[in-house]
Amino acid sequence: MTATTDIVAKLWNLCHILRDDGITYHQYVTELTYLIFLKMAAETGAEDQLPEHYRWADIRRRQGVEQLTFYKELLIHLGAEGSAQVQAIFQNAQTSLRQPRILKALVEAIDGLDWYSAREEGLGNMYEGLLERNATEKKSGAGQYFTPRPLIDSMVALMRPRAGEYVQDPAAGTGLSGISCSAGAISVSGAHGLCEALAEHDGHLCLGGRPFTG
């Protein structure tokens, strides 16, 4: 079992705790995403994107009702402050948590995981693993919204994308198809040719000046 697989399994087991607070499978990944984002910002040295006093350590050092109240305030605050990316992620963010002990259990569990190993394997793989678990859980009914990586890789292999081509995914979700297309373009066009083609265009990742959209 890889470190990422182990973390995904442990995070998914927290759904039993969340159910005690009335959280559904549909809400589960969303609830985790906000907390994991804040923890990853701390782990990867990216907290300069967040306003001071609204970071992971500020949640962790609080207890009980104060912690839950602060967390709700933090979600609203980050939707209006911080970098443009942070504001986009937390726009209209809210939590369905009602019991302070549930938030405490989540924070402690997330804080105690081996994030160093997960970083080495790729944090995107961890998030994808959570989505896959949610999709394969019959009770969640989310299977129709998740495209497995092997299927995406097969589609990209057939498409053989090249640097300079336009890639559109109307149901982009996590953007995995764009990432796979980028990797596919490297194998077809070569890493040097792709790097020359990469550019920023209206906030989209581009190949030869043409963006991935979705």
- Successive 10-residue mean pLDDT values, the chain, 214 residues: 70 76 75 87 89 96 96 96 89 91 91 69 65 64 62 78 70 64 53 41 44 48
Distance in angstroms (rounded) separating the CA atoms of residues 70 and 53: 10
pTM to 2 decimal places = 0.65
**pLDDT score recorded for residue 77:** 96
**pLDDT score recorded for residue 45:** 87
**pLDDT score recorded for residue 196:** 42
DSSP type of residue 82: S
CA 204 to the chain's CA centroid: 18
Other Cβ atoms closer than 10 A to 14: 18
Who's near 67: CB < 8 A, 6+ residues apart? 59, 100, 103, 104, 107
Q: Name the phi and psi angles at 10, rounded to 5.
A: -70, -40
Q: Which domains does the chain have, with CATH numbers?
A: 3-142 (1.20.1260.30), 149-213 (no CATH)
Closest residue by Cα to residue 3 from 167, 123, 150, 105: 123
